[in-house]
Amino acid sequence: MRLKLKFSMRILATLSAVATLFILLSAAGCAVTGDSRILSPTGGGPGIRVERVTPALSGLMLDMRYRVVDSEAAQKLLSRKASLHLVDQASGLKLSVPNMAKVGKLRQLPAADNSDRIYWMFFGNPGGQVKRGDMVTLVVDGRNVQDIKVD
């Protein structure tokens, strides 16, 4: 009986976490204000603009929102094969995009030319080590967007 109760509680906790994640993902089109950082693939025209990075799921993930500024450059940077992560500037900790077994990578890829849309990407934050006020750097295939403040 005790084993069934533990198993049921584990399933309930997993379902609750998944439901919370989908609620957060549904807010992908939110309006954003504040300081934005731009990633330029060649030093020329910008590819994406990072709108904000905020803690999510009780600090266990970081939610990054970005806007496509140059669709051609962004497609090169944000392909499915692109290597990307956030780096905490204070500790050097690398945070990667989680790859879930049934869902895949927790990131939204731009499908068409739509600069009016804000896209999302989640990064694992084990132990909640990166907190509000910390500075992070987005690294996409060796290209950096530095000094992004976690809101």
Residue spans per domain, the chain? 2-149
pTM above 0.85, yes or no: no
* Number of C-beta neighbours around residue 110 at 10 A: 17
CA distance 24 to 2: 33
Say what the pLDDT of residue 116 is: 77
pLDDT averaged over 10-residue windows placed end to end, the chain, 151 residues: 56 51 44 47 58 95 90 76 90 94 86 78 96 93 86 92
